[in-house]
Amino acid sequence: MSFDLFLRQRRPEPIKILLLVLAVSFCSSNVFSHDNTTKTLPSIANHFSELSHAQLMESADQLRMDGRYQESEGMFKQLFASVRANSGLFHEQQFVVLDRLIQINLARADWQSLKQHLDYHDWLGNRLYTDSPLQLAGHLQNNASYHELAAQAIVGPARNWHLVQTRHQLWRAVSALQTLPGERDRLPPLLYKIAIHHYALSRQSDLRWLTSFETRTDEPAMISGWALQGNEVNKRSYEIGAELILRIISHYEMNPRSEPTSQAALLAQLTAYRGDWEILFERDRHAFAFYDKSLALTAETSCSDLMVRALFENPAQLPLTTLPPDVDVCSATQNDGSVTVASANFNPGAPAIYRPRRSQDQWLTESPPPALSATDTEIHHD
Amino acid sequence: MTEPTRAGCSARAGRAAIASASLVACLTLGACLTPEQAAERNARRPPTPAEVEQHNAMVPPEERIVCRNEIPVTSNIPVRKCRLMADIDETSLFHREQLRRALR
């Protein structure tokens, strides 16, 4: 039944007239008041102009860099609402502000807000880049790096959750890249990163809720039931890392470099990484088999002495957190004399682990000097 | 009972050599697989730990699997079995219930 009909049938004539008068007066007052406000008030509610948007962004960034996180966060939240109002709910411009908000959450150790922002970051990326695997992979790696930063700052089960989420996001990035045969070269660094995260997790003394985070829910909550034991976690981490490093090696075997020398040098370095993995999990006998294989591969390069010195004569703290740099080792060592490889210690309480050293054709068994930098290991050459 | 002659011995040795050669040939031929057979065998093998983790990262929690070594009742040799996490929980609950009933 229409409104008109309703009035005609159910209401007497005077009431009908009164209602009409009221409706007309309400409409006209609205129109006039709107006219007045548009003339007097500046348009700041949800619609910043492009210029003021940039200015606000700049000043909020300045506040963030000055350590005034609370004020900066307030401004970024306003900007975030504005971007959503101006550009729509599904626009990648949101990431510019969202990234800042996440950085502020990390700096303020506001884990609750961080989780909300990271969930939104993940959801929006999946929504926007479903049809573009390369962009999706980049976005997932970005999300993973935020989880990684959070894992470095937290202890206990929350750290495990962030580590598991980092790994999940990296695996999703790997899966996205695997759909693009032309982008296979991007896989080895990601696979190695996953292996390193497994090592980091296996060094955790507190493995509570791990099975829950890995298999039962994506939330940082415990769902009770059957769980992996500590030694099973260790064994699985070892197996996954070993498998991933072998996958990396076979990737480079199937896609060899044009120069036979640099191909042999790369394989020698990667085989040494495989040996390192055995050392990290206290399987020394297996490690030396890989190191010997690595030595044999260095003989195929044009600078075998330099390679042996680079790999085994200077102490390298394990695990090395990045793959060997994509440079011609022989010319690099002859030119500036050094190749820098980052390393990390995931178990600060325990003594650092080093790659075994070799001198005068023999493996040295004594511990390397302890006064080595904990973050970077610079391998010097002649 | 007759003494074994040199000729008899050499004939027996010859037969044994042929038998072992044919056995080796059978095993060697059996080990050679066509690409299709190799792919089929590969498809039948349980997933590696890394493959399991990649799968689990891509699916919602209710579809996640766990692979572990289990020792069957009739053997001492562990077998790698992969199961849905939900199945493991259900089986575990069922067995606990049965045990409780038996002990009552």
pLDDT one-digit tens code per residue, A33-61: 444 433 443 444 455 666 677 788 888 88
Decide which of A257 and A330 is more confident: A257
Which long-range CB contacts under 8 A does A216-222 form with residues at least 24 apart? A216/B61, A216/B64, A216/B85, A217/B61, A218/A165, A218/A168, A218/B60, A218/B61, A220/A115, A220/A157, A220/A158, A220/A161, A222/A157
Q: What is the pLDDT of residue A347?
A: 67
Q: How far apart are CA A176 and CA A161, in angstroms?
A: 22
Q: Which position has the higher pLDDT, A18 or A177?
A: A177
Which of A215, A246, A250 should we substitute to test contact with B (largest number of B Cβ atoms within 10 Å)?
Answer: A215
**Highest-confidence range of A85-89, A243-247, A343-347, B84-88, by mean pLDDT?**
A243-247
Compare CB distances from A216 to B48, B65, B85 and report the shortest one's residue: B85
Residues B7 and B19 in one domain: yes
pTM, two decimal places: 0.76
One domain for residues B52 and B93: yes
Contact between residue A197 and residue A166 where contact means Cβ atoms under 8 Å apart? yes
Please indicate, yes or no, whether residues B65 and B36 belong to a single structural domain of this protein.
no
| Statement to judge: residues B89 and B40 lie in one domain | no
Counting beta carbons within 10 angstroms of the beta carbon of residue A81, is it exposed (0 to 12), middle (13 to 18) or buried (19 or more)? middle
Do B3 and B20 have their domain in common? yes
Q: What residues of chain A lie within 8 A of the CB of B68, using their CB?
A: 232
Same domain, B70 and B104: yes
- 8 Å CB contact of A240 and B53: yes
**Residue A118 in this model has a pLDDT that exceeds 90:** yes
Please list, in sequence order, all residues whose beta carbon lies within 8 angstroms of the beta carbon of residue B56, skipping any fewer than 6 positions away: A168, A214, A215, B64, B65
Q: Which residues of B touch A246 (CB under 8 A)?
A: none
Distances (CA, A) of A53 to A45, A50, A68: 12, 5, 19
Q: How far is B18 from chain A (nearest CA, A)?
A: 40
Same domain for B50 and B14, yes or no, is: no
Residue B66 contacts A where some CB pair is shorter than 8 Å:
yes
How close does chain B come to A254, measured CA to CA in Å?
19
Mean pLDDT of A259-285: 90
Nearest CA in chain B to A219: B61
User: What is the pLDDT at residue A22?
Assistant: 63
- Burial level of B24, CB count in 10 A (0-12/13-18/19+)? exposed
pLDDT reading at B102 higher than 90: yes
Q: Residue B57 is nearest to which of A171, A216, A225, comparing CB atoms? A: A171
What span, in angstroms and rounded, lies between the C-alpha atoms of A176 and B58? Answer: 10
- pLDDT of A304 reads 83
Is the distance from CB of A125 to CB of A139 less than 8 angstroms? yes
Tokens representing A10? Answer: 């159910």
Q: What is the separation, in whole angstroms, between the first and last Cα of chain A?
A: 94
Please check whether residues B54 and B102 belong to one and the same domain. yes
The minimal CB distance from B85 to the residues A172, A215, A247 is found for: A215
- Position A113 scores a pLDDT of 93
Q: B97 with B53, same domain?
A: yes
Among B45, B48, B52, B53, pick the best mutation site for testing chain A contact (most A Cβ within 10 A): B53
Which ipTM value was assigned to this complex?
A: 0.77
| Closest residue of chain A to B85, computed from CA coordinates | A215
Q: Which of the residue ranges A114-118, A140-144, A167-171, A219-223 would you say has the lowest mean pLDDT? A: A219-223
pLDDT at A44: 45
Token pair 């990667």: residue: A270
Nearest by CB to A168, from B57, B65, B88: name it: B57
Provide mean pLDDT across the span A267-272.
Answer: 93
Phi first, then psi, for residue B80 (nearest 5°) are -80, 120
pLDDT-derived band at B93, boundaries 50, 70, 90: confident
Q: Classify residue A7 by its DSSP letter.
A: H
B53 at interface of A, judged by CB pairs closer than 8 A: yes
Residues B29 and B5 in one domain: yes
Return the SS3 of A135.
helix
Length in residues, chain A:
382
Can you say whether the dihedral through the CA atoms of A355, A359, A361, A367 is positive or negative? negative
Mean per-residue pLDDT for A336-364? 71
| pLDDT over 80 (residue A342) | no
CA distances from A360 to A133, A308, A354, A357, B52 (A): 50, 11, 19, 10, 44
- For residue B70, give the 3-state DSSP assignment: strand
Question: Worst-scoring range by mean pLDDT, A79-88, A231-240, A241-250, B24-33?
Answer: B24-33
pLDDT at A173: 97
What token pair was written down for A356?
A: 């075994």
Q: Which domain holds residue B13?
A: 1-45
Residues 180-199 in A contacting B (C-alpha not used; CB under 8 Å): none
Least reliable range by pLDDT among A97-101, A324-328, B99-103: A324-328
Q: How far apart are the CA of B59 and the nearest CA of chain A, in angstroms?
A: 10
- At A51, the amino acid letter reads L
pLDDT attached to residue A250: 94
Total of domains in chain B: 2
How far does the CA of residue A195 sit from the closest CA of chain B (Å)?
10
pLDDT band at B16 (very low <50, low <70, confident <90, very high): low
Please name the helix (run of DSSP H) or strand (run of DSSP E) that holds residue B67, with its range, or none: strand B65-70
Residue B41 and residue B51 in one domain: no
Can you give the residue ranges of every domain in chain A?
A: 1-33, 256-363+372-382
pLDDT of residue A169: 97
Tell me what pLDDT residue A324 has.
Answer: 86
Nearest to A263 by CA among A249, A276, A277, A246: A249
Point out the residue among B57, B58, B61 whose CB comes nearest to the CB of A216: B61
Claim to verify: residue B68 and residue B28 sit in the same structural domain: no
